[in-house]
């Protein structure tokens, strides 16, 4: 089972939300630069967080080849986009740590590639 949903962006969304997805075939390579968007440790008034990182490794879970990034994925980042150097959505943040203090206790800051959307039932 793939725990993803395809959402349509509402009219009037901020410009950073208008990032086109890359083709379903993932072309991500180790060492490639990425940016992680999200709201780690979200609280009222907290603004969007953008963290830079690189692809570190690959792993397969639920028949999906995921990639791990060096930018720490913290609770609240889950579901956020990971963008490649061409400003295209390359994946969705799914696994990481509960807090920034615990971020170094896991190497699995995992991302489901955007190509997994091809497996969604409509």
CATH of the domain at 107: 2.40.10.10
Residue 12 forms part of a structural domain: no
Is 60 within the bounds of a domain? yes
Domain membership of residue 16 (yes or no) is: no
What gap in Å lies between CA 26 and CA 15, rounded to an integer?
A: 24
Structural domain range at position 106: 22-117
Return d(Cα 34, Cα 86) in angstroms, integer.
9
Q: How many CB atoms lie within 10 A of CB 35?
A: 18
Task: Evaluate if residue 16 carries a pLDDT over 60.
Answer: no
d(CA 43, CA 95): 20
Q: Kindly indicate the confidence band of residue 52, based on its pLDDT and cuts at 50, 70 and 90.
A: very high
What 3-state class would DSSP assign to 115?
helix
| Average pLDDT of every residue of the chain | 79
Split at pLDDT 50, 70, 90, the class of 65 is: confident
Residue 55 clears pLDDT 60, i.e. is over it: yes
Which pTM value belongs to this model?
0.75
Q: Where are the alpha helices (DSSP H) in the chain?
A: none
Q: What is the pLDDT of residues 78-117, one digit of tens each?
A: 888 999 988 888 899 998 878 887 778 877 888 998 887 7
């Amino acid at each position: 089972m793939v725990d993803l949903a395809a959402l349509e962006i509402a009219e009037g969304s901020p410009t950073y939300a208008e990032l086109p997805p890359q083709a379903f075939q993932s072309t991500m390579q180790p060492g490639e630069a990425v940016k992680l968007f999200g709201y780690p440790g979200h609280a009222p008034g907290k603004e969007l967080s953008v963290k830079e990182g690189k692809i570190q490794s690959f792993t397969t879970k639920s028949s999906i080849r995921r990639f791990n990034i060096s930018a720490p994925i913290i609770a609240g980042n889950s579901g956020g986009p990971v963008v490649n150097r061409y400003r295209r959505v390359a994946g969705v943040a799914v696994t990481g740590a509960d807090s920034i203090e615990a971020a170094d206790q896991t190497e699995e800051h995992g991302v489901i590639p955007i190509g997994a959307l091809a497996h969604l039932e409509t």
